[in-house]
Amino acid sequence: MSNETPGLRESKKRETRQLISDHATRLFMAQGFEATTIAEIADAARVAKKTVTNYFPRKEDMALDHQDAFAASLADTVAARRGGESALTALRRAFDADVAARNPVAGFAGANFSRMVDASPTLSACLRGLHDRREEELARALAEATGASPEDIAPRTAAALLTAAHRVLFQRIQQLTLAGRTNDEIARVVAEEADTAFALLEPALADYAVA
């Protein structure tokens, strides 16, 4: 039997997972996602191929390894909104904070990473799926916040509108990153464009899902 405590085992698992992800991302950026094999990743991380696939059943999970945090981000913001704050206001405040922090979840992932995703049909499709997941999770959070049925059209429509704004702004950050703009330049541009994007939602959602 192992003398390791459960906490130590979990810590080692997290370290191994991060090691594999780091080596995989480095290889993806250097030679392309589709061109990189599981065997190459395993060799770089000095683990068995089976270890790689045990931690990451899909190859794209190694490149986009914060999928759950991304998908839950808008729903979590709504759930944690302040008293008297609408869902729109809370999401706008959170987006401003993400831009100020240059948060990768908002799109500030760096030029090499952005090029890697843009060049890969698989990763681009996976990212679109993550945006869809984020919309679904937000719709559930809005239904809970307003006491509506999950099948009600109102929270689903509100989620579609709110995630559309975030999707456009995310894509704008990616576009500016690929154009060679610095994060500081991107933040200034996107902060102004976010004013326009969120203002367009005010007439419909200013008083929706107020805590």
Collapsed DSSP state (helix, strand, coil) of residue 151:
coil
Taking CA atoms, 118 is separated from 58, 138, 154, 161, in Å, by 18, 26, 34, 25
pLDDT above 60: residue 63: yes
Cβ(209)–Cβ(79) below 8 Å: no
Query: pTM of the prediction?
Result: 0.89
Establish how many alpha carbons lie within 13 A of residue 107's alpha carbon, considering only the half-sphere containing its beta carbon: 23
User: 151 and 115 in one domain?
Assistant: yes
Same-domain check for residues 13 and 115: no
pLDDT confidence bin for 108, thresholds 50/70/90: very high
Whichever domain contains 50, its CATH number is: 1.10.10.60
Q: Does residue 211 sit within a domain? A: no
* Percentage, residues of the chain above pLDDT 90: 91
pLDDT at 2: 54
Query: How is residue 187 annotated by DSSP?
Result: H
Task: Give domain status of residue 133, yes or no.
Answer: yes
Whether 125 and 33 map to the same domain: the answer is no
Q: Cα(first)–Cα(last) distance of the chain, in Å?
A: 51
- Mean pLDDT within 157-173: 97
| Shared-domain flag, residues 81 and 124 | yes
**Residue 49 belongs to a domain:** yes
Asked, for residue 36, whether it belongs to a domain, the answer is: yes
pLDDT score of 55: 95
In whole numbers, what is the pLDDT of the chain averaged over residues? 94
Domain end point (choices 40, 63, 86): 63
Q: What is the pLDDT of residues 23-42, one digit of tens each?
A: 999 999 999 999 999 999 99
Structure confidence at residue 4 (pLDDT): 66
Residue closest to 129 by CA, chosen among 182, 70, 183, 76: 70
Q: Of 17, 45, 63, which residue sits at a domain end?
A: 63
Nearest 5°: the CA angle 85, 87, 89 is 60
- List pLDDT tens digits, range 3-13: 667 788 888 99
The answer to whether residues 179 and 130 belong to one domain is yes
In tens, the pLDDT along 74-102 reads 999 999 999 999 999 999 999 999 999 99
The answer to whether residue 1 is domain-embedded is: no
Structural domain containing residue 150: 67-205
Same domain for 102 and 41: no
Clarify whether residues 129 and 157 are in a common domain.
Answer: yes
Q: Say if CB 186 and CB 177 are below 8 A apart.
A: yes
pLDDT 10s digits, 126-159: 999 999 999 999 999 999 999 998 789 999 999 9
Contact 63, 117 (CB under 8 A): yes
- Tell me whether residue 176 is in a domain: yes
Domain shared by 115 and 148, yes or no: yes
- List of residues 6+ apart from 205 with CB closer than 8 A: 86, 87, 88, 158, 161, 162
What is the rounded CA–CA span in Å between residue 37 and residue 183?
Answer: 31
Instruction: Annotate 87-150 with DSSP letters as a single string.
Output: HHHHHHHHHHHHHHHT-GGGT---HHHHHHHHH-HHHHHHHHHHHHHHHHHHHHHHHHHHT--T
CATH number of residue 75's parent domain: 1.10.357
User: Given this model, what pLDDT does residue 5 score?
Assistant: 79
Query: Do residue 91 and residue 171 come from a single domain?
Result: yes
Specify the number of domains making up the chain: 2
59 and 84 part of one domain? no
- Which structure tokens are listed for 64? 């986009």
Shared domain for 50 and 131, answered yes or no, is no
On whether both 115 and 175 belong to a single domain, the answer is yes
